[in-house]
Structure 1
C-alpha cells in the first residue's frame, strides 16, 4: 500500500504487537524502483515476507518493550542490509540498545527545543533538497559553525539524528542512500575537544553497526592541518567498507570535479541560499515534530544474557579512562 506525503507526518505506533500493522510505504520514482530491484533484490514478495519476519522477531523478542513496526520504519533495516534478515534484526537490536545506553545522543529530537533550534539556525548541518544524479539524498555540514562555548557534543549528535530522521522514512532515501559533504574550514581543536576519545569510539561503533542507512559517500573539504591527526584517528575507527567511501578534497574545485556543485548551497556554488535551505529544514522538522518526538519512546531491556552486553558495558567502563582530546598529544 502506497502512502501519501501526509503519512510521513503522522505519529507511528510504538506497540510491539499492534492490533493492525501499518503497511503504507512512500512512493518512489522509476529510478528508485530500479535501484531497489537491482541493488537490493527487492520485489513485492520479498518485501512482504521480510516485513512479516521482522515483525515476528520484534513480537517474540523478550527484551524489546516498545518499538515501531510500521513498514516504512522496518524497511530502513531491510533495505540497508539488502534483505538479509539476520543482519537487519542485528542492526535493529543495536539501534535500540544505542538509544538505551546513550540517550543524550538521540533525545529529544525537538525543533522547538531552544538550544537545538538555535543550533539549526547556525547552519551547522542540514539536508539539501535535490537528489544527485544517482538518486541519493544529500547532507551538508559547515563544521566552523559549531561554537564550542555555546554547544556541546550532544547537540551535534542530536542534530545529525534529526537530519537523518527527516530523511529516513522516505523510500527513495532508503534505497539510494545518502551522500555527506563536510566543509571542515575553520575546524579547531576546541571543537574536537568537546568529545572524548571514548565517545568517538562509541559513535564510530554506532555508525558501523547500528545505523540503518545506506551511506554512500563522505566528502571532506579543507581539512585543517592542525586537526589532521585527530581526523585520521577517527577514520581508522570506521569499518573498511565505510572508510573506502571517504574522500578528502584540498579545495572546492576538487569536490566539484566529482560532485555537481549546483546541488550545494548558493554560497558554495549552488542555486539556493543557505538561509533558505535552513528554513526549509526547520519547517520540515516542525511538520515531523510528533513523529520525531516518538523516537524517545523506544525501549529495550539490556540484560547480561544479551550478546551486546559485553561491548556496551566495556564502552561504559572506558569512560574517563581513555581521556579526552584535550589530553591527546598531536605529533
Structure 2
C-alpha cells in the first residue's frame, strides 16, 4: 500500500473518526493489521502481558511502561511476546554496554548540535512513496578533525530514538539515504574493529526500529573492505534491503527526489529540512532524557546467540588485514 509524498506528520488528515491508535489514521491502522498482526485485541492483551512481565522481572529497574514505548518492541517483532521481551532486554543491555553513546541523548549538546547543523545527519520532512520518513546522511559534512566515533554514534542514536517515539514510524518503518563519497581511510580510526562489529550487529538486534530501505550512494573503491565487513554482520533481511547506487540519478529511480534535499537532487535545501527536523528534536528532547532512568541490573535473561565473527567472512583476508590494506590504499 502506497501513499502520496507528504510532509510529516500529516498521515491522519482526512480520517473521519478517532482510530484505535490515537492520532494516527485508519489507513495506518490497516497497515499495522496486515504487516504486523496488530489489532485492538492483540494490542490490549500484549501490552498487559508485557507490563506484568516487566513488573515481575527483578532485572528491570524503572522501565518505561507507557503504550508508546512498549509498542515499539511489540511492533518490531510483529507481536511475538517472547521476541518482544528479548528485544527489550537487549535494548536495555545495549544502552548499558554503550552508555557513552546511549545516555544523555540531548541534541543541544554542542558537538551533536553542530553535527546536525552541518547536515551530516537529519530527517526529511517529506515521507517517501510508502509513507516512511527518510533519514539523510552526508559524509562530506563529518569533519574528522572535530568529531570522533562517539559523536557520530550519538547523533545517530538521537535521530533514531526521536523517530521511534512516533507511532507512524514504528509501524511503517524508516528509509535511509546516505552519500558516502567523502569517506576516506581516516574514517577507519573512528572505531576499533570490535566496537564497529558490535555496534552494527548488536544495534540491529537490539534497537526496535524497522529499517525498510537502505540506499547508499557513491561508495569509494577504497571502502570496499569496510562495506563487505559491515554487510557480513547484517541479517539476511537487512542485506536484501541494502542497495548501492553509483550516482544520484540512479538513486532517483528508487527514491523520489521530492523527499530528498536539493543537494541530493530534491527541491528543499538541506538547511530548511534541518530547521524543521530540529523542531522535532526539541519536541522529543524531554522524553529522550527520561530514558536514562531505566536500567538493566543483569543480562541473565537474554538468550545468547552466535557472537560476531572473529575471523573474516568477506573472502578478502583477515579482518585486521583488510582494514590495514584499506588504510594503505
What TM bracket, shorter-length normalisation? 0.7 to 0.9
Distance in 1, Cα, partners of 2:291 & 2:304: 22
Distance verdict in 2 for CA 1:257–1:126, change over 3 Å: same
Of residues 82, 85, 90, the one that matches 1:86 is 82
| 2:26 alignment partner in structure 1 | 30
Distance in 1, Cα, partners of 2:56 & 2:324: 46
Q: Is the 8 A contact 1:193 1:326 kept in 2?
A: no
Q: Does 1:284 align with 2:280?
A: yes
Distance verdict in 2 for CA 1:67–1:213, change over 3 Å: same
| 1:11 alignment partner in structure 2 | none
Distance in 2, Cα, partners of 1:309 & 1:232: 25
Of residues 278, 288, 293, the one that matches 2:289 is 293
Of residues 164, 167, 173, the one that matches 2:169 is 173
- TM-score where L is the length of structure 2: 0.85
The structural deviation recorded for 1:88 is 0.6
Q: Is the 8 A contact 1:223 1:250 kept in 2?
A: yes
Partner SS for 2:84:
helix
The structural deviation recorded for 1:218 is 0.6
| 1:220 alignment partner in structure 2 | 216
| 1:132 alignment partner in structure 2 | 128
| 2:253 alignment partner in structure 1 | 257
Of residues 133, 150, 155, the one that matches 1:154 is 150
| 1:68 alignment partner in structure 2 | 64
The structural deviation recorded for 1:112 is 2.0
Equivalences, count: 302
Distance in 2, Cα, partners of 1:329 & 1:187: 16
- Listed one character per residue, the Cα deviations across residues 234-275 of structure 1 (whole Å, up to 9, x for unaligned) are 111101111111000011111111111111002212121101
Partner SS for 1:159:
helix
Q: Does 1:95 align with 2:82?
A: no
CA RMSD, Structure 1 to Structure 2 (Å): 2.4
Q: Does 1:188 align with 2:184?
A: yes
| 2:195 alignment partner in structure 1 | 199
- Listed one character per residue, the Cα deviations across residues 53-73 of structure 1 (whole Å, up to 9, x for unaligned) are 111111111111121100001
Distance in 2, Cα, partners of 1:143 & 1:282: 19
Distance in 1, Cα, partners of 2:322 & 2:37: 47
The structural deviation recorded for 1:309 is 7.9
Distance verdict in 2 for CA 1:42–1:327, change over 3 Å: closer
Q: Does 1:119 align with 2:110?
A: no
Distance in 2, Cα, partners of 1:142 & 1:296: 29
Of residues 232, 238, 260, the one that matches 1:236 is 232
Q: Is the 8 A contact 1:66 1:300 kept in 2?
A: no
Q: Is the 8 A contact 1:195 1:325 kept in 2?
A: no
Partner SS for 1:179:
strand
- TM-score where L is the length of structure 1: 0.85
Distance in 2, Cα, partners of 1:301 & 1:186: 41
The structural deviation recorded for 1:307 is 3.9
For structure 2, list consecutive stretches of 5 or more residues without a partner in the other structure: 1-8, 10-19, 309-317
Distance in 1, Cα, partners of 2:26 & 2:218: 36
- Listed one character per residue, the Cα deviations across residues 299-329 of structure 1 (whole Å, up to 9, x for unaligned) are 11125x4446898xx88xxxxxx99799633
